[in-house]
């Protein structure tokens, strides 16, 4: 099966893609294009999947750059590939102005966000779950891009496949965490079943982007939870009592 790569016109002409799980070598619960070395999938198979992604992005596998994602607001600025044999830095976003480096984010319900200022030739990629989005990873990515010469008025941002509000059930404590930050964030919650709420992660991400001055921001419109044939989902794996879950990859390069 060939790779399925979702793209956005607003990021053109830069080579980029939100990869679905289709077209990979993994099997079982990971069936498809699992690109997560932190999963319990066979490491050789994950490397094979990532090599397929690198080929699609027209870069060497060593130029497919990822970080050790920890749900933080931290951003890494890349000027060269990570040194061989050393652990990748802990961060949840990357920026670069170097041609030939592909910035890759791994997700399984969280938001993968790709950024580009095509005029300045500066790109960014962020992993924005609720913790990262609330603590400022999107704004910090924009700031780091500006430090490389981008202008936020020109930056375009696209949120890739992630969990939709209809599938994102949360409790009272989760709601209060957001209301403690800003009572106005109540608009990103609706009542769910019983005493639960449904959280609009995409709406929150778009709000933070637009408040940061990114007028060209959009969601690609795909829910990871509701389409098991095309997307991995951490929350779905929990509900189905699976032992583990695959990771989707989203990539942009100059």
The C-alpha atoms of residue 149 and residue 133 are separated, in whole angstroms, by 23
Residue 143's closest CA among 115, 119, 162?
115
**What is the model's pTM?**
0.97
Q: What does the DSSP assignment read for 134-181?
A: HHTHHHHHHHHHHHTT--TTT-EEEE-SB--GGG-EE-HHHHHHHHHH
pLDDT of residue 52: 97
Q: Return averaged pLDDT per consecutive 10 residues of the chain, 254 residues in all.
A: 94 97 97 96 97 97 96 96 86 97 98 98 98 98 98 97 98 98 98 96 98 97 98 97 97 97
Quick one: which of 27, 37, 3 has its CA closest to 247?
A: 37
Architecture of domain 5-163+219-253 in this structure? 4-Layer Sandwich (3.60)
**pLDDT given for residue 172 in this prediction:** 97
* Residue 126: per-residue pLDDT: 98
Phi, psi at residue 111, to the nearest 5°? -80, 125
- Residue-level pLDDT at 17: 98
For the chain, state the CA radius of gyration.
17
For residue 84, what pLDDT is reported? 79
């Amino acid at each position: 099966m060939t790779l399925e790569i979702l793209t956005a016109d607003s990021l053109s002409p830069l080579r980029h893609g939100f990869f679905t799980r289709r077209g990979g070598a993994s099997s079982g619960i990971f069936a498809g294009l699992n690109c997560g070395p932190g999963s319990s999938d066979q490491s050789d198979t994950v490397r094979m999947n990532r090599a397929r992604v690198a080929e699609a992005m027209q870069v060497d596998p060593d130029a497919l750059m990822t970080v050790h994602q920890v749900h933080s607001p931290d951003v890494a600025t890349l000027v060269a590939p990570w040194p061989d044999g050393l652990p990748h830095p802990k961060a949840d976003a990357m920026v670069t102005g170097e041609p030939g480096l592909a910035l890759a984010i791994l997700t399984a319900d969280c938001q993968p966000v790709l950024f580009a200022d095509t005029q300045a030739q500066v790109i960014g990629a962020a992993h924005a779950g609720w913790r990262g989005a609330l603590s400022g990873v999107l704004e910090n990515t924009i700031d780091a891009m500006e430090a490389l010469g981008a202008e936020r008025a020109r930056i375009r941002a696209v949120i890739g496949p992630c969990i939709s509000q209809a599938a994102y059930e949360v409790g009272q404590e989760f709601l209060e965490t957001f209301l403690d930050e800003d009572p106005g964030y109540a608009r990103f919650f609706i009542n769910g079943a019983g005493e639960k709420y449904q959280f609009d992660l995409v709406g929150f991400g778009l709000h933070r982007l637009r408040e940061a001055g990114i007028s060209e921001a959009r969601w690609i419109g795909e829910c990871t939870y509701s389409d098991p044939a095309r997307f991995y989902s951490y929350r779905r794996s929990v509900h189905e009592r699976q032992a583990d879950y695959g990771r989707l990859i989203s990539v942009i390069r100059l």
